[in-house]
Amino acid sequence: MIFKIDNVKKSYKNGEVTEEILKGVNLILREGELTSLVGASGSGKSTLLTIAAGLQPASDGQIIFEGKNLTSMNAEQVRKIRAHQFGFVFQFAHLVPFLTVEEQLLLMLDVSESKLKIREQKKEVDKILKLVEMDHRKHAYPSSLSGGEKQRVAIARAIIHRPKVLFADEPTASLDSKRSKDVMTLISHLTKTLNIATLIVTHDEEMLSFADHIIKMSDGQILQKV
Amino acid sequence: MNIAWKEMKKSKAKFMILGSIVFLVSLLTFMISGLANGLSQESAGLIKDLPAGQFYMTKEADQTYSMSRVDRRIQKQILSKEKDATAFSIQMGFLNDGDGKQQSVAFVTATSSKQFKNVEKGEIVLDKSMEDNGIKIGDALTNNQYKGKFVVKGFVKHSKYSHASVAYISMEDYKEIYGTDEMQLIFIPEGGTVPTFSGMGSFSNQQFLNTISSYKSEQMSLNMIIWFLVVISGMLFAIFFYMMNVQKIGLYGILKAIGVKTSSLFKIMWTQMVFITVIALSIAIFLSQIFTRVAPTGMPFSLTTETTVQLSIVFLMIGFIGATLSGLQIKSVQPLQAIQQGEV
């Protein structure tokens, strides 16, 4: 077990009313396993993912990563963990528009303070781009890539620094059915080969076949673990 | 990785627009500054080129040197006490050349000194600009209040007062024209302590320049234009970087989400600001220096290296402040907001 979500709660104050988005969620992520969070809109799955990824604080509960409690860390400590140990894939690729595919990945190595020399970094970039089948577009800018290609580059960026946990929020939502399957196959493959603990939020029932664990959420609570 | 440089390379047009505006504003500031400095030389070059020291005039003159008349006894006492002291007077007047053409000049006479040209009776030393107007050494010039003729003995560079050429004459000739041998002012070059004399008010070089009302008002107007331009350039920086930052809020959020430090985002912005400013300033300095060399002789324009360096530093500082103020929004960017906003 590498990642534990322990009784996490999240509530927002909306005027006089306090809305409870998460009502004490418990979850464990393991290396080499892909866990899918499913549920209707407003069920709290995206909120849970962003809290787990250190992108917003929990109102209560603990996020334990490698024995350390993220919720008790300061912003800089959480940023370091995000940069070094976590990878992110979002609904949109969110690539830096003025960097080439190769530079997007080099930037991530830079952010994660990679000890590799520049020549080794470039070799690593080539390797990962080959893995996501984007090595032929390494000098292309995002504006010249298709939606599927962009998402592949985003996945490559998320794993180039060998994160221990990969968070993916609806990574196939902006793609058609074929490209969605390709992306999920890739994420699933990388989870196994790179031994990453992956947490993925999805609406798409078709994509659940790629998951090792399926967590169904409703009204801020876990309904079912499969 | 130098993201700042890569962004500038990819978005050349955007940064060139900002750079060209900074260039135009800085060039305009350099030109106005050169003009202000040139005009100040025309207006009070005689005083400005003196070494640091103290000017003395009578208290009754109420800070108007033309009203000052230093008593000969007091003048003698001061000059015997202070070895380097000089008593001098400045009066506006006219000279007629051989063709009867009248030229406005500032007559200056002084006791024996290193700071002012000393001439014999009947002689005159003129500012170089008079030579450019066709007057030569040996020419005889006249004045309506002077019986004899002034023989031109030489020329001195950059000696102007109240936008007129300075004409150094002897004290005897001065007495003949203006009917007095009492000097208006005493100048003592800086020598540690500032001596005081009863009935005399003392002024530093700058204080004395400020007593000349025409000089003060002229410089005040020009300096106001210069600082107004500097403030405008600061605002331009702030507005441009603010607009660029607003466009990049989503990108900043994503970069923060993947772990980029907020300080690194500021460094990107500062690098771009310094790069644009340095390039724009370099071109503006180059062009203004060319102008200094090719400006028409009669044009009052003087842009010193010191002024250029000072203004450049001010531009860099104001650019930095403008960019930083506009960049404060980077600090408040929430990664989550950017992710939820959609594609950057």
DSSP summary character for residue A59: S
Residue A179 has pLDDT above 90, yes or no: no
Chain A residue nearest residue B4, CA to CA: A98
Cβ-defined contact of A94 to B10 (cutoff 8 Å): no
| List of residues 6+ apart from B198 with CB closer than 8 A | none
Residue pair A21/A47 in contact by the 8 Å Cβ criterion:
yes
- Closest Cβ–Cβ partner in A56, A93, A112 for B259: A112
Q: Smallest Cα–Cα separation from B84: which of B56, B115, B109?
A: B115
Other residues' Cβ atoms within 10 Å of the Cβ of residue B142 = 17
Contact A68, A34 (CB under 8 A): no
Main-chain dihedrals φ then ψ at residue A88, nearest 5 degrees: -130, 135
In this complex, the residue of B259, B338, B339 whose CB is nearest that of residue A79 is: B259
Check whether A107 has a pLDDT greater than 60: yes
Contact with chain B for residue A173, Cβ under 8 A: no
Percent of chain A, pLDDT > 90?
69
* Cross-chain residue pair B10–A56, CB shorter than 8 Å: no
Q: Rounded to a whole number, what is the distance in Å from the CA of B333 to chain A's nearest CA?
A: 12
Closest residue on chain A to B8 (Cα): A98
**Domains of chain B by residue range:** 3-44+216-341, 47-211
Could A94 and B6 be called an inter-chain contact, meaning their C-beta atoms sit closer than 8 Å? Answer: no
Pair B19, B236: CB distance under 8 Å: no
Of A56, A94, A111, nearest to B260 by CB-CB distance is A111
Q: Which of A79, A91, A108, A157 to mutate to test the interface with B (most CBs of B within 10 A)?
A: A79
pLDDT attached to residue B251: 87
User: What is the side-by-side strand order in the sheet with A213-218?
Assistant: A86-89, A165-169, A197-201, A34-39, A213-218, A221-225
Which residues on B lie below 8 Å from A73 (Cβ)?
none
Rounded average pLDDT per 10-residue block, chain B, 344 residues: 89 91 91 89 88 93 91 91 91 89 93 88 93 90 91 91 93 93 92 82 92 87 86 81 83 90 92 92 95 86 90 89 84 79 59
Q: Which residues in chain B touch residue A97, judged by CB atoms under 8 angstroms apart?
A: 10, 251, 344
CA angle B162, B163, B164 (to 5 degrees): 90
- Give the pLDDT confidence score for residue B235 in this predicted structure: 82
Cβ partners under 8 Å of residue A151, min gap 6: A89, A93, A171, A172, A174, A175, A179, A183
- A84 in contact with chain B, both atoms CB, cutoff 8 A: yes
A104 touches chain B (CB under 8 A): no
Contact state of B259 with A111 under an 8 Å Cβ cutoff? yes
pLDDT at position A71 is 92
pLDDT of residue B319: 84
Q: Which residues contact A115 (CB under 8 A, 6 or more apart)?
A: none
pLDDT tens digits, residue range B185-230? 999 998 777 788 888 999 999 999 999 888 888 888 888 988 888 8
B268 vs A: CB within 8 A: no
State whether A169 and B339 contact (CB < 8 Å). Answer: yes
CA angle A60, A66, A68 (to 5 degrees): 45
Tokens at B138, concatenated: 């040996």
**Res. A180 pLDDT band, cuts 50 70 90:** confident
Question: How do strand A34-39 and strand A213-218 relate by DSSP bridges?
Answer: parallel
Residue A195 has pLDDT above 70, yes or no: yes
Kind plus residue range of the DSSP H or E element containing A103? helix A101-111
Q: How far is B277 from chain A (nearest CA, A)?
A: 22
Q: How many CA atoms lie within 13 A of A176 on its CB side?
A: 4
**Nearest partner of B219 among B85, B37, B74, B57, judged by Cα:** B37
Cα-Cα-Cα-Cα dihedral sign, residues A203, A206, A208, A211: negative
Cβ within 8 Å, pair A94-B336: no
Q: Please tell me which residue of chain B has the smallest CA distance to A108.
A: B258
Residue B187 near residue B128 (C-beta atoms within 8 A): no
Nearest chain A residue to B338 by CA distance is: A94
Chain B residues touching A99 at Cβ < 8 A: 3, 6
Residue A102 in contact with residue A128, Cβ under 8 Å?
no
Q: How far apart are CA A135 and CA B334, in angstroms?
A: 32
A72 φ, ψ (degrees, to nearest 5): -100, 0
A99 contacts chain B (CB < 8 A)? yes
A108 contact residues in B (CB cutoff 8 A): 258
E-strand stretches of chain A? 3-14, 17-29, 34-39, 60-65, 68-69, 86-89, 165-169, 197-201, 213-218, 221-225
Q: Choosing among A46, A55, A82, A117, which should be mutated to test the B contact, i.e. which has the most B CBs within 10 A?
A: A55
Q: Give yes or no for A213 touching B (CB within 8 A).
A: no
Q: For chain A, which domains are there?
A: 3-225 (3.40.50.300)
* Both tokens assigned to A113: 């303070």
Beta bridge partners of B86: B187
Task: Check A99 against B3: CB less than 8 A apart.
Answer: yes
In eight-state DSSP terms, residue B147 is S
CB contact under 8 A, A108 and B10: no
- How many helices (H) and strands (E) would you count in chain B? 11, 10
Cβ(A180)–Cβ(A172) below 8 Å: yes
d(CA B74, CA B83): 14
Q: Which residues pair with B154 in a beta bridge?
A: B125
Q: What is the distance between the terminal CA atoms of chain B, rounded to a whole angstrom?
A: 20
Contacts of A103 in chain B (CB under 8 A): 1, 6
- Segment A109-151, tens digit of pLDDT: 999 999 999 999 999 999 999 988 899 999 999 999 998 899 9
Are B344 and A94 inside 8 Å of each other by CB? yes
Rounded-to-integer distance, Cα B140 and Cα B195, Å: 42
DSSP secondary structure, B281-301, as one string:
HHHHHHHHHHHHHHS-TTS--
Q: Containing H/E element for B277? A: helix B262-294
A107 and B11 within 8 Å at the Cβ level: the answer is no
CB atoms under 10 Å from CB of A12, counted, come to: 11
| B100 near A CB under 8 A | no
Three-class DSSP category at B137: coil
Write the CB contacts of B227 (distance below 8 Å, at least 6 apart in sequence): none
- CA nearest A49 in B: which residue? B336
Could you say which of A56, A79, A92 has the minimum Cβ distance to residue B343? A92
The verdict on A127 touching B (C-beta cutoff 8 Å) is no
ipTM comes to 0.86
